[in-house]
Amino acid sequence: MLIVRATRKLLDHANPPRTVEGDRDTTLLGPWYATALFWRPRLALLVNERTLLPALLPLAPVRSIPDRIPDEIATVLDAHRVPRAITVDELRNMQDCRFAPTASRSVVGIMNEFSKLAEIYANGSARTNLVALSLRLARTPCSPLYGKNVSPDRELAALIRSTAA
């Protein structure tokens, strides 16, 4: 099961399936955080709680967002050259996608910073290649990672190396 911890504006906008007591994330990467970016067209920004890895995807059609999130995460993992076996395993564990409110102010803060950077990098245009934009954001130094691997792309690589060992 994939748990997506979403901001209130995304939960209100999408009305996705919610977690129930006892639900646990079964993915290697763990829960993701999500918010809506009300650009034209509208986007969803995902940030992984464990690695702070960002991923962007179109918000519309909003009703299908729980079904589209796993594929977009897999696309970003492939772009980061994560071994295909790990990506396939993540996809298998993400088949059931449920939403819950945010729980970490730190991750929400990083998500807000990525939102601002994404707008700057995209020059205000959501027509930008979203995978390329996600990759660029992943190279951003993030203070919660300073004692570890500094940026989400490096944190992901370290996590993948540790699971392969």
pLDDT for 162 beyond 60: yes
pTM score > 0.85 for this model?
Answer: yes
Identify the band that residue 161 occupies on the pLDDT scale cut at 50, 70 and 90.
very high
pLDDT for 117 beyond 90: yes
Identify the band that residue 124 occupies on the pLDDT scale cut at 50, 70 and 90.
low
Partnered with residue 3 across adjacent β-strands are: 98
pLDDT for 126 beyond 60: no
Q: Name the nearest CA neighbour of 129 among 46, 34, 55.
A: 55
DSSP state of 71: H
Q: Which domain holds residue 50?
A: 2-164
Partnered with residue 97 across adjacent β-strands are: 2
Measured CA to CA, the distance from residue 54 to residue 153 in angstroms comes to 9
> pLDDT > 90: what percent of the chain?
79
Measured CA to CA, the distance from residue 55 to residue 129 in angstroms comes to 11
Rg (CA), the chain: 15
Number of domains comprising the chain: 1
> What's the pLDDT score for residue 64?
93
pLDDT for 141 beyond 80: yes
For the stretch 24-62, pLDDT in tens is 999 999 999 999 998 888 899 999 999 999 999 999 998
Structure tokens at 56: 């962007």
> What's the pLDDT score for residue 165?
63
Summarize the confidence of residues 130-155 as an average pLDDT. Answer: 95
